[in-house]
């Protein structure tokens, strides 16, 4: 007998109640419609993960905290102004881009990834949730920023668990407008990464605006959100070729 969704995911009201409790823990409200959208996203993530490697986290509560809430930990209306154009680099299964899109449907969000199969999954989510504010983009971060339609065109660039900060800065800052921000969701060694990125930031036209330590509900992991301000244009020779970035980080 074929298993149904209810055999391996929690019920909607259970999931939404957990989302509501955890959102309150980080000081963000949650509407009923948003709760249903997060649940639909969760169900499709788990169903698709059965035949596509999207996430190692499948427990409902851990999905809430380690994916949804962690993604929203970078949210601050001081940075996410109304109608901001946002690029989510290395979006993977859609984190943090999809949670931000659900929470703020006025943001113009592009989910950027190098694997088409992940983008097909994300397009399904976009269609299911009628996220008219979201599009997908296929390509490599080192390449697309040399195209004029993407170079220094975004108010915000987000990235979660993609690369160490000196490398990430070279991948992301070329997309950011002067006056915009790269927002990096980082793990336990964020202080070390910030220190080793100073030369890269100086060369790329960026600077650390804020480092915000984050504590997720029920989790003791050390993590932070690093907000990098784009203060001047990035020289046109950056980013370099992939082999050069990895072999000789700035």
Asked, for residue 17, whether it belongs to a domain, the answer is no
Asked if residue 47 belongs to a domain, the reply is no
Q: What is the 3-state secondary structure (H, E, C) of the chain?
A: CCCCHHHCCCCHHHHHHHHHHHHHHCCCCCCHHHHHHHHHHHHHHHHHHCCCCCCCCCCHHHHHHHHHHHHHCCCCCCCCCCCCEEEEECCCCCCCHHHHHHHCCCCEEEEEECCHHHHHHHHHHHHHHCCCCEEEEECCHHHHCCCCCCCCCEEEEEEECCCCHHHHHHHHHHHEEEEEEEEEEECCCHHHHHHHCHHHHHHHCEEEEEEEEECCCCCCCCEEEEEEEECCCCCCCCCCCHHHHHHCCC
83: left (phi over 0), alpha (psi -120 to 50) or beta: left
Q: What is the domain extent for residue 142?
A: 75-247
Binding-site sequence positions for S-adenosyl-L-methionine: 90, 95, 141-142, 160
Determine the pLDDT at residue 3.
44
Q: In the prediction, which pLDDT does 1 show?
A: 34
91, part of any domain: yes
Assigned domain for 20 exists:
no
Predicted pLDDT of residue 6 = 53
CATH number at residue 111: 3.40.50.150
Report yes or no on 179 lying in a domain: yes
Report if residue 15 sits inside a domain.
no
Strand pairing class (134-138; 206-214): unpaired
Q: How many domains does the chain have?
A: 1
* Residue 86 near residue 100, CB atoms below 8 Å: yes
State residue 247's pLDDT score.
81
CA angle 58–139–183, rounded 5-degree value = 65
- Number of Cβ atoms within 10 Å of the Cβ of 204: 27
- Whole-prediction pTM value? 0.93
Residue 29 has phi, psi (to 5 degrees) of -75, 160
Q: Is residue 19 part of a domain?
A: no
Q: How many other CB atoms are there within 10 angstroms of residue 7's CB atom?
A: 8
Binding residues: 90, 95, 141-142, 160
Which is nearest to 100 in space by CA: 63, 145, 138, 67? 67
Closest to 125 (Cα-Cα) out of 59, 183, 185, 67: 67
Is there a domain that residue 213 lies in?
yes
Q: What is the pLDDT of residue 7?
A: 57
Residue spans of the chain under pLDDT 50: 1-4
């Amino acid at each position: 007998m074929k298993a149904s969704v209810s055999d391996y995911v929690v019920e909607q009201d259970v999931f939404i109640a957990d989302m509501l409790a955890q959102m309150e823990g980080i000081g963000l409200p949650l509407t009923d419609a948003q709760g249903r959208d997060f649940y639909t996203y969760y169900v499709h993530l788990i169903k698709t993960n059965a035949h596509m490697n999207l996430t190692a986290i499948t427990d409902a509560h851990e999905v809430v905290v380690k994916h949804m809430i962690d993604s929203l930990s970078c949210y601050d209306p001081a940075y996410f102004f109304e109608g901001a154009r946002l690029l989510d680099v290395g979006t993977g299964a859609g984190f943090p881009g999809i949670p931000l899109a659900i929470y703020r449907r006025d943001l113009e969000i592009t989910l950027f990834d190098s694997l088409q199969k992940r983008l097909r999954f994300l397009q399904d989510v976009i269609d299911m949730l009628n996220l008219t504010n979201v599009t997908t983009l296929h390509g490599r971060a080192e390449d697309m920023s040399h195209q004029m339609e993407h170079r220094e065109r975004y108010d915000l660039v987000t990235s979660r668990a993609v690369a160490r900060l000196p490398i990430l800065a070279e991948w992301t800052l070329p997309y950011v407008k002067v006056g915009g921000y790269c927002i990096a969701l980082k793990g336990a060694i964020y202080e070390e990464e910030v220190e080793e990125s100073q030369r890269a930031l100086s060369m790329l036209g960026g600077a650390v605006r804020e480092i915000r330590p984050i504590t997720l509900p029920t989790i003791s992991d050390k993590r932070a959100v690093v907000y990098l301000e784009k203060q001047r244009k990035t020289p046109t020779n950056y980013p370099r070729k992939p082999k050069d970035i990895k072999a000789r980080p700035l």
